[in-house]
Structure 1
Amino acid sequence: KRLSQKENRWISDVNHCLSKTLVDTYGQNSLFVLEDLSGVTFEKTNSNKNQTRELHSWAFYDLQTKLAYKAHKSQSQVLIVSAKYTSQRCPKCGQIRKENRNHRIHRYDCVFCGFKTNDDRVGAMNLYELGKQYISGIENPKFELTNVTD
Structure 2
Amino acid sequence: MKQLAQRENRWMTDVNHRLAKTLVTAYGSHTLYVLEDLTHVTFNTDDLPKSLRNSHRSWSFFQLETFLTYKAQAIQSTVVKVSPAFTSQRCPKCGLIEKTNRHHDTHEYWCNQCQYRCNDDRLGAMNIESLGQEWLNGARHPKIKKLTTAG
2:66 pairs with 1:65: yes
Matched, 1:114 2:125: no
The answer to whether the 8 A contact 1:41-1:55 is kept is no
User: Which structure 1 segments of 5+ residues have no match?
Assistant: 46-50
Count of residue pairs the alignment pairs up:
147
Q: 1:43 to 1:119 in 2, by over 3 A?
A: closer
Please list every run of at least 4 consecutive aligned residues from structure 1 whose deviation after the TM superposition is greater than 2 angstroms.
Answer: 42-45, 51-58
Partner of 2:33: 32
Q: What does 1:67-86 align with in structure 2 at a 5 Å threshold? A: 67-86=68-87
Q: CA shift at 1:75, angstroms?
A: 0.4
What secondary structure, in the 3-state scheme, does the structure 2 residue paired with 1:89 have?
coil
Give the structure-2-normalised TM-score.
0.88
User: Which structure 2 segments of 5+ residues have no match?
Assistant: 47-51
CA RMSD, Structure 1 to Structure 2 (Å): 2.3
Residue 128 (1) aligns with residue 129 (2): yes
What is the alpha-carbon distance in structure 2 between the residues aligned to residue 59 and residue 15 of structure 1? Answer: 8
| Structure 2 letter corresponding to 1:40 | V
Q: Note the C-alpha offset of 1:23.
A: 0.5
Identity of aligned residues (%): 50
